[in-house]
């Protein structure tokens, strides 16, 4: 086995670590917060407050 | 309203309307530039040179500038509409507000497919690059590319999951590096710094247009590679601090950067590599800028362009994950897809379910489909999206004329860019049909089937009352 074989194993291990971290955090988040909070994002909320559109008559 | 601070995590203007978590507004124009240029720049490092194979070096230059005009129109039109419809989803949200639900559903799918397939293609390329490095450093036998392909997708998805600011700051650094590498290669090989190695006259002699005018037409398809993806800047609309300023600034600076990078790339590579070698992207020059650096004889340039190629590939995949997940998230939020996808992570403020959901899809494409097919389907989805844009801007200007709503940017010479873009899209469709007719018909067939599914089944679940959110007056004529 040369260095590149070890790097291959390292890539597998890192991939598993990143994937596992995402899935575990996802499950933890879903169980910690109610669904209506997680899906409470609405489009255009800031625009409705910050922008003023004036119609020229 | 005075208590709103858009950079705050708790007082960013989202709470008072009963919304508890939303995407975080933390990005500036440089991040928008990095998102757009980052997705595209890999096309300068590889892929565009198939245009040389189709029609010779001059045909590739014509394709480069032809596509440059097309994408300048895209950038101008997108800047105007997105700085006004500043929400995640980009062109999907534009279509929803301006054209209608069925168009929006289709455009949303174009975006997700184009970006996810491009992400897969980038991961395949990154795996290949690692195997080349392994061979160059003395590794015996074939390196297994799969762990590196998977690592690219997993790492970048994880980065996107953890927050948009770090994700696009990372893109800014590696994209700037890749662009600077092209500039340095040009300065070093053209004779401005040190001795020049270019010989355009000798290389072009007798091969000006080897396949005549039909070669130019055939090469147009690959001219798109120089700029494909710049429209991705629109997906940052809901996460920039100042959409009216940052989106037009970042997008237009991005297309200017790419016009420079594309022309320099053509000039450098066609002046050093014979057109037969340059035009064969499979058995000849897979990475033309890197091959030019190798011919320069400078070890420093070889390393610089080697890292530039890898960074451009990573930046593209990273931007694609960002954009595909925003489009998927926005469709979920409006119930065009299950509302479950419209969730935002309460800590990282990212569309985490959309990001995680798209990971296995990218892996399936990256590990199970041939690269050329993945790239073709990505281009076709993008081209369908570009065809939508001129129709979109014409309807936008008609329904909401310039003096009726506030715009962040007003593009000049309307409707000339829209007509030009529509014409160029028509020509490019013909060019694609010549080379990839079967895939084009299959792709259009797929979108017809999913449109029927949306119309007859999915539309009943759409959150119709809540989907038109912009505080605009009624459109003219309604």
Overall domain count for chain B: 1
* Residue B13: pLDDT over 80: no
Domain assignment present for residue B11? The answer is: no
Chain-centre distance of CA A47, in angstroms? Answer: 23
Question: Measured between CA atoms, how close is B120 to chain A, in angstroms?
Answer: 15
DSSP string, B47-115: TTTHHHHHH-HHHHHHHHHHHHHHHHHHHHHHHHHHTTS-STTTHHHHHHHHT-HHHHHHHHHHHHHHH
The pLDDT of residue B315: 98
Q: How many CB atoms lie within 10 A of CB B330?
A: 31
Residue-wise pLDDT for B214-239, tens only, equals 899 888 888 888 998 999 999 999 99
Cα A44 to Cα B11: distance, rounded to the nearest angstrom: 16
**Reported confidence tier of residue B49, pLDDT bands at 50, 70, 90:** very high
Q: Which pLDDT belongs to residue B301? A: 95
- pLDDT for B19 equals 57
Which of B238, B350, B475 is the best residue to mutate to test the A interface, defined by the most A CB atoms within 10 Å of its own CB? Answer: B238
Query: Across residues B302-307, what is the average pLDDT?
Result: 94
- A24 CB neighbours in chain B (<8 A) are none
Within-domain flag for B9 = no
User: How far is A34 from chain B, CA to nearest CA, in Å?
Assistant: 11
Whether B3 maps to a domain, the answer reads no
Residue B466 lies in a domain: no
**Interface A:B, Cβ pairs < 8 A:** 148
Q: Among A46, A49, A56, A57, which would you mutate to test the B interface (most chain B Cβ atoms within 10 Å of its Cβ)?
A: A46
* From A45-49, B247-251, B436-440, the region with the lowest mean pLDDT: A45-49
Under DSSP, the state recorded for A52 is: -
pTM summary value:
0.91
- The answer to whether residue B348 sits within a structural domain is yes
pLDDT at B1: 39
CB atoms under 10 Å from CB of A28, counted, come to 10
The reply to whether residue B352 touches residue A26, judged by beta carbons under 8 angstroms, is yes
Would you call B469 and A21 a contact, using CB atoms and an 8 Å cutoff?
Answer: no
CB–CB contact A43 B472 (8 Å): no
- B27 forms beta bridges with B240
Asked if residue B16 belongs to a domain, the reply is no
Give the closest-approach CA distance of A25 to chain B in angstroms.
10
Euclidean distance between CA atoms B360 and B354, whole angstroms: 11
CATH number of residue B82's parent domain: 1.20.1740.10
Range of the domain at B256: 38-461
Please give the mean pLDDT across all residues of chain B. 90
**Residue in B closest to A49 by C-alpha:** B1
Q: What is the ipTM of this complex?
A: 0.87
When pLDDT is averaged across residues B327-340 and rounded to a whole number, the result is 95
Is residue B226 one of the residues assigned to a domain?
yes
Contact A4 B139 (CB under 8 A): yes
Q: Which residue from A8, A18, A45 is facing B14, i.e. has the nearest CB?
A: A45
How close is the nearest chain B Cα to the Cα of A36, in Å?
9
Q: What residues 15-54 of chain A have any CB closer than 8 A to a CB of chain B?
A: 15, 18-19, 21-23, 25-26, 29, 33, 35, 37-54
Q: Above 80 in pLDDT, residue A52?
A: no
Chain A positions touching B156 (Cβ under 8 A) are none
Nearest chain A alpha carbon to B153: A15
pLDDT digits (tens, 9 = 90+) for B132-157: 889 888 888 888 999 999 999 999 99
DSSP B368-400: HS-HHHHHHHHHHHHHHHHHHHHHHHHHHHHHS
Residue B1 resides in a domain: no
């Amino acid at each position: 086995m040369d260095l590149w074989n070890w790097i291959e194993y390292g890539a597998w291990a890192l991939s598993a670590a990143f994937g596992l971290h995402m899935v575990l955090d996802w499950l933890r988040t879903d169980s910690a917060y109610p669904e209506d909070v997680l899906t409470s994002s609405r489009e255009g909320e800031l625009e409705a407050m910050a922008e003023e559109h004036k119609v020229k008559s | 309203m005075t208590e709103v601070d858009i950079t705050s995590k708790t007082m960013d203007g989202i709470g008072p309307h009963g919304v508890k978590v939303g995407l975080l507004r933390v990005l500036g124009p440089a991040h928008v530039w990095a998102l757009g240029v980052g997705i595209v720049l890999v096309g300068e490092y590889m892929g565009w040179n198939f245009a040389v194979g189709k029609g010779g070096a001059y045909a590739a230059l014509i394709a480069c500038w032809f596509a440059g005009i097309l994408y300048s129109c895209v950038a101008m039109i997108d800047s105007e509409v997105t700085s006004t419809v500043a929400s995640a989803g980009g062109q999907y949200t534009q279509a929803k507000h301006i054209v209608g639900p069925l168009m929006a559903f289709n455009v949303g799918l174009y975006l997700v497919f184009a970006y996810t397939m491009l992400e897969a293609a980038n991961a395949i390329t990154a795996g290949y690059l690692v195997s080349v490095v392994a061979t160059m450093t003395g590794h015996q036998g074939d390196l297994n590319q799969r762990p590196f392909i998977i690592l690219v997708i997993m790492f970048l998805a994880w980065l996107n999951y953890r927050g948009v600011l770090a994700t696009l700051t990372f893109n800014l650094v590696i994209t700037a590096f890749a662009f600077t590498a092209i500039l340095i290669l040009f300065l070093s090989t053209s004779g401005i710094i040190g001795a020049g190695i270019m010989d355009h006259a000798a290389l072009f002699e007798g091969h000006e247009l080897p396949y005549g005018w039909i070669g130019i037409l055939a090469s147009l398809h690959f001219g798109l590679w120089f700029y494909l993806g710049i429209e991705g800047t629109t997906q940052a609309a809901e996460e920039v601090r100042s959409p009216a300023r940052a989106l037009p600034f970042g997008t237009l600076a991005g297309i200017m950067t790419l016009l420079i990078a594309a022309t320099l790339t053509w000039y450098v590579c066609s002046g050093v590599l014979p057109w037969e070698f340059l035009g064969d992207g499979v058995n000849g020059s897979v990475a033309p800028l890197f091959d030019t650096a190798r011919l320069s004889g400078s070890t420093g340039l070889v390393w610089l362009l080697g890292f530039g190629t890898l960074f451009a590939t990573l930046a593209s995949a990273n931007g694609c994950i960002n954009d595909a997940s925003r489009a998927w998230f926005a469709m979920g939020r409006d119930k065009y897809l299950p509302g479950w996808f419209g969730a935002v992570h309460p800590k990282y403020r990212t569309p985490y379910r959309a990001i995680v959901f798209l990971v296995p899809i990218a892996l399936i494409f990256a590990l199970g489909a041939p690269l050329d097919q993945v790239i073709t389907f990505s281009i076709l989805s993008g081209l369908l999206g570009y065809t939508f844009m001129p129709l979109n801007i014409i309807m936008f200007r008609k329904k909401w004329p310039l003096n009726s709503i506030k715009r962040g940017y007003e593009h000049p010479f309307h409707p000339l860019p829209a007509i030009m873009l529509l014409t160029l899209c028509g020509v490019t469709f013909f060019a694609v049909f010549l080379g990839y007719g079967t895939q084009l018909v299959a792709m259009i067939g797929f979108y017809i089937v999913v449109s029927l599914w949306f119309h007859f089944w999915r539309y009943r679940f759409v959150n119709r009352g809540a989907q038109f959110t912009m505080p605009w007056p009624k459109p003219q004529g309604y």
